[in-house]
Structure 1
């Protein structure tokens, strides 16, 4: 905490008493203090949330054990107490210091980071300390000198900034309220009643993370059940009357899956002759959009392999030092009022980096409207852009500098000229028994590079929609030979080329926040797409979570073993058997919590609290939301209590039980490799998870053989028994001796199939060359023993996600 100054006459400070400025971080406080000159101003910096919600067991001792009959646990208000820093030190002294600083203060100006979380950091302390004086909001969209002065000018013109900011605080408080109630009640209820005993970890539940997992689970199912199909394209070589040669293609968007249809079109095209239609036009290529928090995270994941939380940390550091605008934004536009700043910002960028300076336009291009970069109202926070203040040598960490250069390059491109391509399309219409068919080729050459001179080959990289299969490229080539419109052409012998459909792409770590914010891109149903539209801001449709919280969802899903990451710079996300089972159970009992679209619509209704124009209206909306949350929790518990219990395997180990056998793990790995699916990590550590994987993917047993203990399986858990290494070596030698192309796939994974192969090919006595084969005799059937009843232990409350969450920039 520090004595500071007032920003002069623009601050509107009451001369009869002190004004307290409430900052979020000391770094921001120091940036703004440069403009202070009055001794009647006091500054404090919270350094994050100073209060945290009490644990359930601290509120009521009977809420500590995990008991279904104690649910639902609901409160009208969440009790808070001084929190603790990362070192474990209590925040109580900070709160006491702020209480003392408020003595003699007539006005508080909240100067925390803009946004709901920043508002909450200040307001929760003021309410906890019983502050009842005047409160105003200083909106610092950036921490450079120009932005700070503008923020103070806006503060002087606004009389209701405090009331509107209180509405933003109540929205953040309601998000925390729902997070606490759903996380606590949902996790306990689903874990106690729906989770199979094979899964040891609690089934963590959350209002945002559960529908996000549902998106990934639906994609996982589409990938696993995808069956590739061959489709066909027809190439027609053509010679023009002037002697030019080119190849036209029939490759319709509605793919040709029947070879007979492809052959019919090919035969009709043989010997074709006729006029060629030629269309020439210039095609403009506009620069990419400016960065939002999510699109910046995606770009950094693609280029640098960064986790979105790493990107957020570097962007925040640049904001705190005044080099970047506020980074937790969902907008990709700037306000029209900032168009006049473009030249000065570009000049500053040119000084900072000579490579960018080489492309600095003499006159910046200002593109207005939703398809451009400048709009009348970009929303609560505008796009992420560089400022007049630029980093010099050694001012920031190397990684932060890489991020700044990426944003600066994006801003520069946005103000450069459009690229222009000269595009020529040559078309032939061929009559076939299936109707007129269009054969076409497009040639494209760069006429004016424009902003693409800055990006080079990166400019031609297509942005593939996450979770979708890559679109088929149109038949294109470079420069085409000269062809006149209407010029006669003669076809040669057409040929059929075969291609294969591809499964949807997995969503990557860097793409997940974009998917959550752009849920509309994942939906095909027109009615659902309309439900996700945002008439108030068409460029920002309804989504899951907020820009400030989306980065935290994936770590939660991984901690719960619902998903894992594959390898790669920006690794793809795959859903485990645990995650699939969890989503299936939730949708069976309470489908609304597994519906991403329904949740996105609900989120937009929650945002109405923050849009209230008066404190009274915000309070009324917040109270209605709390009541609705309690009703939803009661409905969830009622649905879970009335649901059929999942079957309990009498042989299942208790929670915290043993690991799978080596044979089970070996079979699971071979099965995963053969089917081209990832093996969940927990399947190599927990016998229950391994059994679920095997039961899901092994399919019916070959030859009607029994499995598990009845077949002598060393696993003894109902899994198909793999052959021994000796059996596989002998089978391979027989295959070589009999000149087979290879062993059937099931031989390598199924004991019964391998034994049948040896019996069929090794001779009547099972010998070869007078030596007994290295075979394993069938295991004798042991008398069945009844497993003793085992009392399952509930998850420890101390490690439970049902505990009240600490204050953080994340929600469940």
Structure 2
């Protein structure tokens, strides 16, 4: 690369929209700007590196590379990025400083650094950290750039962390998927068993919950009601419902009998209960709220938030934090004025003479260090009505209201509790009922009637049982005499744990600490560097990509409803069981979370040399784990799985088709000849029928299977079948059923009977479909090309 001329600076942006926003701040002729528009480089497939790595063969594993080879990528329209790379190469000529101005975070760092490394740039690099694209945030970012002379060194560490994540994803997906598919995958499952460092322990969380749900046995439990009449003539009902549920009906009856004869004073306690505003949104909690309220897929929410960030209406959205830095306290008034200008109905909540409520520390959003990126909030720049799409407007309003609520007073409820203590042969028992009246709505005025519907339960847990409450309580006095007018036993049934929903899964991955009960495990998941962000799986940027991978592999299915629940299939349970039997570490979510916390230390390195040392140690550790994984799989048995338990939905939906009559006839004849039962669904499911034929008609040799990949036995094409039938008709012979079911049998039949030219010519003529006048000539089909692809979790 030519020697740079002094004074020239290149700004490296991720998107043209951000470049346009920032170019307003510098008009120097010594400034050059380029925009990548995403990742310009892509990892090469193993078969492109070495042809002998293209076939799926166990004896070729592990496939290990010192570095992942990259090639020029393509955009979504299939156009090569070669032109962009060439333009950036030319722009770097004569430059002595590069300022990376991509989106903050590891992924943005990687987008720029991977290009600079690929093009051999060795000059000075600095990092402009843009938390938002409004004018105030941009000026702050430039001030931070001036105050941090080693920003490039620290950003290179973030890039190396992203590179190490990609390195592990690539190798685990490549080797783990091939090894497990070739050795452990049931014969009944004809697609790859996809394996990944993040998706596999995520599946383990869901599988453990699935096991608890399936093992759950409902139990009746009992609540005892005490009907009272007071001296003042009021009637009310109190309930005895202890935390330790009453499971014995005799115990319930003993308490009921004692309550039926009770009389004495009742106790009335009144107190004010303060309700603080909910936390601001992180990427995952925003996805959960949008799934619950709007039924959006988390990836749809992420795209909307990114679009609003690119337009300068929201702060950076790929964040794990729900907090704000204390340095932004001074922004509150200006942002509130801007937001209420778009939502004028909320303006009266913030009169000019009243300052916004500022909460610091544990009671509010403002802290000294909110983490790498602060919570998602609105900015001074607000959208004009009609400028956003419907979904964009709904998302912006949701975030804006959360910000407004965070700067309003607490809500205050007047809570009244009425209790009576009943003596029983089992000891004194407390009966109670409560009622709540809103004394001051506080922040809830932002939401109106919606405020009480925003309670988020812990995913994967059974619903909490609330204390008995009444919409309206009679005006009884503390110490007022009362007597039982009756007592009853109400029967309820215990509920299983709740399934995790699509919108909740990213939150579960981020907060494993909420899923465990063991205090020692909870301590292991704590994050001393940032207590508000415990250790979890994956990164905020990629957690919402894991569920689509699990669905594609048919490890899980989705239920119905606005925010559908996730269920684990028999395939998913078999897969995670096989992984845990062979290499338990990859099926341990907590162990993976701790491992990822160690990986994050690469990005926290203070110097480039320290980051490079940690990265090399991580790569060595990854290679050692790969060796251990392959060695463990080598001696493990194949998993047995009933074909009828495999859910439908293979590529293109082909598994939902009915088998051909010839396949069914062949399957029936095989079952009769071998004396085995015909599996359920064999006559209605192509998948079940083909699996039965694969198992009973003689599997291919292992080496042949490995050479051709994990797709199993092929069915003949329609053209082959037409040709085979016409050959059989021309020769006056029957077309065997296996010819219509198996590619190899059909090819052998064609090889044996297509030798005579006259017969072959007549067969081809009769097999050819008729073409109308002027029809284009038929093209000879190109041979199908199969390419083995790794199935790892990309999590830069």
TM-score, structure 2 as length reference: 0.83
1:366-394 alpha-carbon deviations (Å, 9 max, x no partner)? 11113311111000000000000000033
1:167 is aligned, of 157, 160, 171, to: 157
Determine the structure 1 residue equivalent to 2:506.
Answer: 513
1:80 equivalent in alignment to 2:80: no
Change (3 A) 1:94 1:804: farther
- 1:117 touches 1:809 (CA, 8 Å); kept in 2? no
**1:763 is matched with which residue?**
none
Task: Find the residue that maps to 1:717 and give its secondary structure.
Answer: coil
| 2:51 paired with 1:136 | no
1:241-281 Cα distance to aligned partner (Å, 9 max, x none): 23222211001111111111110110111111122222211
What is the CA distance between 1:286 and its match in structure 2?
0.7
Distance 1:563 1:176 in 2: 25
Measure the CA separation in 1 of the matches of 2:532 and 2:696.
63
Is residue 2:426 matched to residue 1:434?
A: yes
Q: Is 1:254 aligned with 2:244?
A: yes
Q: Give me the whole-angstrom Cα distance separating, in 2, the residues matched to 1:358 and 1:497.
A: 47
User: 3-state SS of the aligned residue for 1:319?
Assistant: helix
15 and 474 in structure 1: CA distance in 2 versus 1, 3 angstrom threshold: farther
Aligned-pair CA distance for 1:359: 2.9
Which residue does the alignment assign to 1:368? Answer: 360
Q: Which residue in the other structure is 1:411 paired with?
A: 403
Which runs of structure 2 are paired with 1:337-736 in the superposition (5 Å)? 337-360=327-350, 362-461=354-453, 462-646=455-639, 716-719=677-680
Q: 1:502–1:800: structure 2 CA closer, same or farther, 3 Å change rule? A: farther
Aligned to 1:274: 264
1:124 to 2:114 alignment: yes
Partner SS for 2:428? strand
Distance (whole Å) between structure 1 residues aligned to residue 465 and residue 287 of structure 2: 27
The C-alpha deviation readout for 1:769-789, integer Å capped at 9, x for no partner, is: xxxxxxxxxxxxxxxx97444
Instruction: Provide the rounded CA distance (Å) in 2 between the counterparts of 1:61 and 1:114.
Output: 38
Name the residue aligned to 2:689: none
**In structure 1, distance between residues paired with 2:243 and 2:496:** 17
Do structure 1's residue 155 and structure 2's residue 142 form an aligned pair?
A: no
Q: CA deviation at 1:355?
A: 2.4
Give 1:726's aligned residue.
none
Alpha carbons 1:552, 1:810 under 8 Å: kept: no
* CA drift at 1:802: 4.0
Contact 2:6 2:95 in 1 (8 A): no
* Unaligned ranges ≥5, structure 1: 1-13, 653-663, 669-677, 691-706, 723-784
Task: Work out the CA distance in 1 between the residues paired with 2:670 and 2:482.
Answer: 73
Contact 1:577 1:680 in 2 (8 A): no
**In structure 2, distance between residues paired with 1:788 and 1:292:** 55
> How many Å apart are 1:646 and its aligned residue?
3.5
Aligned to 2:709: 794
Counterpart CA distance in 2 for 1:104 and 1:721 is: 69
Alignment RMSD, CA only?
A: 2.8
Distance in structure 1 (CA, Å) of the matches to 2:467 and 2:696: 65
Cα distance in 1, alignment partners of residues 675 and 105 from structure 2: 58
Q: Gaps (5+ residues) in structure 2?
A: 660-667, 684-694, 712-783
What CA distance in whole angstroms lies between the structure 2 residues aligned with 1:335 and 1:370? 13
TM-score, normalized by length of structure 1? 0.81
Hey, what's the Cα distance between the residues in 2 that align with 1:714 and 1:643? 30
> How far has the Cα of 1:164 moved from its partner?
0.6
In 2, the alpha carbon distance for the partners of 1:572 and 1:533 equals 28
1:236 to 217, 222, 226: 226
- Corresponding residue pairs, total: 693
Q: Which structure exhibits the higher relative contact order, with contacts defined as CA atoms closer than 8 Å and separated by 6 or more residues?
A: 2
Inter-CA distance 680–487: structure 2 relative to 1 (3 Å threshold): farther
Check 1:196–1:687 CA distance in 2 against 1; reply closer, same or farther (3 A cut): farther
Q: CA deviation at 1:16?
A: 3.5
Give SS of 1:118's match: helix
